[in-house]
Amino acid sequence: MIIIKYVPILRYRTAEAGALKNITITSKTMPLLELVQEIPLRSKKLTFNDAYTEELSSYSFPFMIDIPLYLNVNNSTRPKIKTFLTQFKLNPSLKIDYYKTLSSNSNIIPVLSYADNPRKCITNNFKSDIKNLRPYFKRIAFRFFNTKDLTNIISDIESIILPNDILLFDIGKAKLNDPKLMTMISSIISSTVFTTCTTVLVRSAINNDVIFKNMIQDNIVANADNSLLYSYSLLGFDAFGDYAGIRRDTSISNGGSSKTSVGFLYYSWQCNGYIGFKGMQPTYTEFISTVKPNTMQSRYWKYYKSLHHKTCIGCLNISNTNSKSPTDWKRYSIEHYISALEQYL
């Protein structure tokens, strides 16, 4: 069985990819990368195979890759992303062909995930998919969501999962005290088949109801809930997963409001919460004039020992940055959060 404690789920874009390349990943952490476009980032390669073979070769640790069927596309989604994701929604088995082109990388663990309409995947020859994928990868991960058809999904996975595989139950932003959810969790944990594989409970701690302009400066963000860190093992899971210290959206758009909103979330291990910092004016210069000094003068920053600030790439970048880029500050959040969990878990 794979011994992991934490699965950060990262949509593979500029900030997320940059953070993952900067931080140190140990065996307690196994990232899951959501591939959302045919050619990643600034790659000059012309095909999915060439681009991702080169891009993902820089990671020396095991990681999962998923082409996420749950993501909604809309009118503001970039055309290349929309085209890429839509083809898999129409034909989920197409994932297999794409995954197989990357099988030369022994660190990759492909993810078979159910769409927001699970019946589409069940009737789409899921067993055939796994049969075509097994010869190319030693381990496979199965990701499913909190749906009404959960009983059928569990039965489907039980018939094809192997002891070396990974099972991820993504409950979205559901509360852990929901009686219906607890019944579902109980059915998963009580399965004798799943006791032989690695089980991961995934929950989004920060959702789009966390609005930067509404945060109280240098205070715990009340509607961000990171309690899964303490409860996953009590619920019977081997590891927990989340969205790596940033907000999670089920849609993929080409940005938010046209009005500039400056905000930053800094994770505090001591209170297991997120501390909000925001700009006072709608201009990105506020990252340097307001967010940076307030973060570094915060009691939550000072709660960390000097060793953390000297070794955490996120904290080092905050200390040294002169960047006004929201992408960079998003990366600092991810770097600090994963580094903190690596240090303390």
Q: b/e map of 195-211 (b: 16 or more CB within 10 Å)? A: eebbbbbbbbbbbeebe
Of all residues in the chain, what percent are helix, strand and coil, respectively (each to 5)? 40, 15, 45
Distance separating alpha carbons of residues 52 and 104, to the nearest angstrom:
11
The string of pLDDT tens digits covering residues 127-175 is 888 999 999 999 999 998 887 777 888 888 899 999 999 999 999 888 8
Distance separating alpha carbons of residues 229 and 219, to the nearest angstrom:
20
- Topology (CATH level 3) of domain 6-344: TIM Barrel (3.20.20)
- Of residues 322, 325, 271, 323, the one with CA closest to residue 298: 271
Is 50 exceeded by the pLDDT of residue 10?
yes
Q: What is the pTM of this model?
A: 0.93
The string of pLDDT tens digits covering residues 224-265 is 999 999 999 999 999 999 999 887 777 676 654 456 789 999
DSSP letter assigned to residue 290 = I
pLDDT: which is higher, 247 or 325: 325
Domain spans of the chain, in order of start = 6-344
The string of pLDDT tens digits covering residues 34-81 is 999 999 878 888 899 999 999 999 999 999 999 998 888 888 888 889
- Of residues 186, 200, 337, the one with CA closest to residue 269: 337
Distance separating alpha carbons of residues 205 and 29, to the nearest angstrom:
18
